Amino acid sequence: MLNKNLEAKQVAAVRKILSEVPVASAYSPVTESMDKATELGEDKIAAALKNFSSMPQSTNVFANPVLHKAAVNCKDAQITLNIRSFGIRGVVSESEIIANKLSPAHVIFTGLFGRKPEKHSDDIDEETILSELIDKKFYLFTELRRDGLTGKQRLINQVAEFVKSFPDAGPEAVIQHFSTLRKLSVPNQKGIKGTRKPGSLLLELIGTHMENVALGTVSVFMRHQLRQSSALHPQVLAMRANDLITESQKNEKTAFQTCYSLLLGREASSVEANILERMGIIQTHHGSAGSNVVARYLATLYAGAVSDFFVASQMALDGDRHFGAIHDMTAFINQIEPLDTDARETAIRERMRIALPTFGHPEIAAAGRSDEIQQDPRPAIYFNPFIDAVEKGEIQLNDSQKKRLSIMQRIYQIAFIEGVVRPGRENEPPLRLTPNTDFGGWAVQEGLDIYESDRTFLTYIFRGFGWIMDAREQLQMKIIRPVIPPDPEIIPKPSDDMTIANEVVALHDRMAGPEIFD
């Protein structure tokens, strides 16, 4: 009876938590400016602002201002890095995630509900409840049966047949295929609408996303198996994937930890899992990204099916101007790897004059000739733990990985430390580019031997929860914009915490030194 009472309490707690909606931002800069212009008798200004009156409050989810400064040496010059910050709802920051090793559930909870998870005296731990809900939706995949092209059967077997038929298809193709079948098998879907109960909608969003995550990671694992033996039967592929997932669940691994093993094609070590988890958590929400804009737009359109919301957002995620840069860097490395040293360096400098993948940024001043330049801290946050593990012998690299990562180090040196002098501008300082998030994402996944076509999927796993955060806010107030200025209340305040600045400087010093991976 005691256990039943506790279970009933937990069910009630889940319902209560999921029904909770964060308070919407009261900050409305356009409206406030229009009122002020009218008060001052500036009728033309007020009239101009009225054209933008459909742009109400700014986001209360995300903010990434410049928060830290750090000086680094670039040959004979000292460059000041203006380091962007990252925070969710003004409650959780990058430095706190790193210093306190917050779990994915802790960070996701904060973004979904606008506050940190709490522990209650009646054995209710909100972080644990959300974590177990996410795990439950993921592990349900092995039991799920649904109508497919050849009749009703387990979904994991259908994925095996798809992967066997299309062994070069990436996880995004698998998700899109089965999302279509999901829509066809569930009549009269409620989709994403402002009239839905928040708890019911959030539950469907999490369930759909975790099923998609399972579809994608299982397909990646199966393609690992086929690369080792192309003759494997679909039933064997399904059995091996099922065994890995079942064993992980038996060992009480979280859904995310199981995903790391599926992405690697084998059981991930604790070191590998920690590196991937840190990288994933930091990517949970970056609000100006194109995929987040699509998520907001789909929520505003009242998408007829929740599946469409995730598929459309993922398509933007893999676009060339977004995380497609990781694929572009792979293509570039493949192009220059066979060249001799001089030809390779010439190719790098030439590519800098066009567009160097994983360097620069379309929305921040991550390129310039002055002694100040903006820096995305995420490459350092991702890459430092990996380099630590390599130096400690916890991760072993083969000769190909060593060579390719050494090329990446040299690209960093040319792009940022040395810079490029354009013809006719020899008397000016060189043009320097700082690396962006994709630099760290590519390097870590190259070192962990994640297959080239699968290197945006870790982001999808975590960014999906960022899209859910966007949808919940968008249903409260329509604020679609490519770049959404945050409510001043959630902007992190400067502090003496040097966690992020130290990470950035540490990576720079490593990249500026002798070959790390030789």
Q: What pLDDT, in 10s, does the model give residues 389-442?
A: 999 999 999 999 999 999 999 999 999 999 988 777 778 889 899 999 999 999
Residue 482's pLDDT is what? 46
Helix (H) / strand (E) element for 215: namely: helix 198-228
Taking the C-alpha atoms of residue 10 and residue 8, their distance in angstroms, rounded to an integer, is 5
C-alpha Rg value of the chain to the nearest Å: 24
- Report residue 10 CA to chain centroid gap: 30
**What's the rounded mean pLDDT across residues 437-449?**
95
Report yes or no: 263 and 219 within 8 Å, Cβ to Cβ.
no
Residue 2's pLDDT is what? 41
Kindly give the pairing relationship between strand 92-93 and strand 87-88: antiparallel
Residue 492's pLDDT is what? 74
**What's the rounded mean pLDDT across residues 122-150?**
91
Q: How does the average pLDDT of the chain come out, rounded?
A: 89
Give the bridge partners for 74, in sequence order.
Answer: 77
Tell me which residue of 368, 378, 453 sits closest to 416, measured CA to CA. Answer: 368
Tell me which residue of 333, 360, 358, 359 sits closest to 347, measured CA to CA. Answer: 333
Taking the C-alpha atoms of residue 27 and residue 434, their distance in angstroms, rounded to an integer, is 33
Which residues are CB-contacts of 149 (< 8 A; sequence separation ≥ 6)? 158, 181
Report yes or no: 511 and 439 within 8 Å, Cβ to Cβ.
no
Residue 15's pLDDT is what? 83
Q: What pLDDT, in 10s, does the model give residues 260-269?
A: 999 999 999 9
pTM for this prediction: 0.90
Q: What pLDDT, in 10s, does the model give residues 475-510?
A: 887 766 545 567 777 777 777 788 999 999 999 999
Q: What pLDDT, in 10s, does the model give residues 185-203?
A: 887 889 999 899 999 999 9
Residue 18's pLDDT is what? 84
**What's the rounded mean pLDDT across residues 25-50?**
82
Residue 19's pLDDT is what? 86
Written as one string, the DSSP assignment of 25-53 is P---HHHHHHHHHHHTT-HHHHHHHHTTT
Q: Which of 65-79, 192-206, 233-247, 363-377 has the lowest mean pLDDT?
A: 363-377
Q: What pLDDT, in 10s, does the model give residues 267-318?
A: 999 999 999 999 999 999 876 678 888 898 898 888 999 999 999 999 988 8
Using the predicted structure, report yes or no on whether residue 205 has a pLDDT greater than 60: yes
